[in-house]
């Protein structure tokens, strides 16, 4: 038994560290239970519930992308939805052009990730290499997103077609001619094998769930790796990080591109989910939602952000039955949360739970470091 657990623990240690809450076995057991519950959920939930849950999961991916740059690296982007939408449009345009000749949407998914990352590389290089203040970066990203939205709104003219895709202004992406294929959902092809995921079905839900779990684990690994430590160092004090020999601008640019790629992937999934994308995604409302999810949950922790994204999405759907008050309530939740719990509601809750469980068993684990034991024999140990 021990021989089996030990390598597993060593593997698991890569996902644990001071950069994330929830490093105890208890947390991981709860996490596994939650993932299993999510996996079996479509077997019990109705079609509508599965459809909505897919959208929630897509939102968590988008929220994680903002959490990565804002919470861990201190770069606030008020225009994160721009990357989401760019990814969505890129996926849609490529998919509509290639679906007939290729039979799958593999390249379209790649485009949905690479195009926003490339855009982020361009605009990020301009911003970070001229060492703009953080406030300026935040504002410029918002303005960029609004301008892209403005551009997409005025593409109703029939001349705005890219191959078989017509940008369509406020009506959203559509086929250029009646003979052109409509926007497909995700179709993965490996050689001759084809896996089709219908955006309204269970298989799509499981695909999104798998992607979300993979991205969550991947990001936990990144933020607890040495690159993650550099990210936090840049957040805490860029000048000092620079004097230690790190190129702060390069670190910022790299994490910005990574974040844009993740957001673009979320946008890809969103377009495939509804087989629809339109310019409202670039608007103020779309951008502020992402910031609300991240700020309310606790920007410095991935798990807290995921919980708050799902909770807030659920709240806004519930509120929608009461009329047009959901945005108003979300604004109030944001302001109240920032006043009462500046580090986020779920981060506060999480650390309170952590303190409570740790206090119960203080004798089992003596708090001071067990001094002896040759240092070389020990695993690289990370502080609590």
Partner 1 sequence: MDIAGQIASYTYQYFDNLGFLLLSGIGLIVIYGVMGVINMAHGELMMIGAYIAVSTFYAGVPAPLAVGLGGVGSGLVGMIIEQLVIRHFYNQLLSSLVVTWGISLIISQGTLLLLGPSIMNMPTPLGSISVGSFAFGVYRLVMFATALGLIAATWALFRWTKLGAQAQATMEDPVMASALGIDTRRVYTLTFGLGSALGGIAGGMFAMTATISPFFGQNYTPMAFITVVVGGGASPIVGLTYAGMYLAGVQTISSNLVNEYIGYVSVIAAAFIALLVMPSGISDFFEQRRIRRMSR
**Which residues would be at the binding site for partner 1 (CB under 8 A)?**
70, 74, 76, 78, 126, 130-136, 138-140, 142-144, 146-147, 150-151, 154, 284, 288, 291-292, 295, 324-325, 327-328, 330-332, 334-335, 338-339, 342
**Nearer residue to partner 1 within complex by CB, 320 or 325:** 325
Q: Decide if 65 contacts 80 (C-beta within 8 A).
A: yes
**Nearer residue to partner 1 within complex by CB, 68 or 142:** 142
**Nearer residue to partner 1 within complex by CB, 121 or 338:** 338
Could you give the angle at which helices 80-102 and 47-66 cross, rounded to 10 degrees?
Answer: 120
Minimum distance of partner 1 from residue 313's CB (angstroms):
16
**Nearer residue to partner 1 within complex by CB, 78 or 234:** 78
Minimum distance of partner 1 from residue 252's CB (angstroms):
14
Minimum distance of partner 1 from residue 251's CB (angstroms):
18
**Nearer residue to partner 1 within complex by CB, 26 or 143:** 143
Minimum distance of partner 1 from residue 286's CB (angstroms):
12
**Nearer residue to partner 1 within complex by CB, 16 or 309:** 309
Minimum distance of partner 1 from residue 223's CB (angstroms):
19
Minimum distance of partner 1 from residue 139's CB (angstroms):
5
Q: Decide if 91 contacts 272 (C-beta within 8 A).
A: yes
**Nearer residue to partner 1 within complex by CB, 9 or 126:** 126
Minimum distance of partner 1 from residue 288's CB (angstroms):
6
**Nearer residue to partner 1 within complex by CB, 278 or 299:** 299
Minimum distance of partner 1 from residue 14's CB (angstroms):
30
């Amino acid at each position: 038994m021990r021989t089996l657990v030990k390598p597993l623990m060593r593997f698991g240690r890569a996902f644990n560290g001071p950069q994330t809450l929830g490093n105890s076995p208890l947390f991981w057991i709860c996490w596994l239970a939650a993932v299993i519950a999510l996996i079996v959920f479509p077997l019990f939930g109705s079609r509508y519930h599965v459809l909505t849950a897919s959208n929630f999961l897509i939102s968590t991916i988008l929220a994680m992308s903002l959490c990565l740059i804002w919470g861990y690296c201190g770069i606030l982007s008020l225009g994160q939805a721009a990357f989401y939408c760019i990814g969505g449009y890129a996926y849609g345009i490529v998919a509509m052009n290639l679906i007939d000749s290729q039979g799958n949407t593999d390249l379209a998914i790649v485009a949905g990730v690479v195009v926003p990352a490339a855009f982020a590389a361009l605009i990020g290089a301009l911003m970070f290499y001229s060492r703009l203040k953080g406030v300026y970066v935040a504002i410029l990203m918002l303005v960029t997103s609004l301008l892209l939205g403005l551009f997409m709104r005025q593409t109703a003219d029939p001349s705005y077609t890219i191959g078989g895709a017509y940008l369509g202004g406020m009506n959203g992406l559509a086929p250029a001619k009646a003979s052109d294929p409509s926007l497909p959902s995700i179709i993965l092809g490996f050689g001759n094998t084809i896996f089709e995921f219908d955006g309204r079905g269970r298989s799509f839900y499981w695909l999104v769930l798998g992607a979300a779990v993979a991205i969550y684990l991947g990001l936990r690994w990144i933020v607890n790796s040495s690159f993650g430590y550099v990210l936090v160092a840049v957040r805490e004090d860029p000048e000092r990080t620079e004097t230690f020999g790190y190129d702060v601008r390069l670190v910022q640019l790299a994490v910005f591109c990574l974040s844009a790629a993740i957001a673009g992937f979320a946008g890809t999934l969103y377009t495939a989910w509804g087989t629809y994308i339109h310019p409202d995604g670039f608007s103020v409302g779309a951008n502020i939602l992402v910031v609300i999810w991240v700020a309310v949950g606790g920007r410095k922790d991935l798990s807290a952000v995921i919980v708050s994204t799902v909770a807030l999405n659920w709240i806004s759907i519930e509120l929608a039955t009461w009329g047009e008050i959901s945005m108003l309530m979300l604004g109030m939740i944001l302001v109240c949360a920032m006043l009462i719990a500046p580090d986020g509601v779920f981060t506060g809750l999480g650390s309170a739970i952590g303190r409570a469980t740790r206090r119960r068993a203080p004798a089992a684990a003596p708090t001071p470091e067990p001094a002896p034991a040759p240092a070389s024999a020990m695993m690289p140990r990370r502080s609590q």
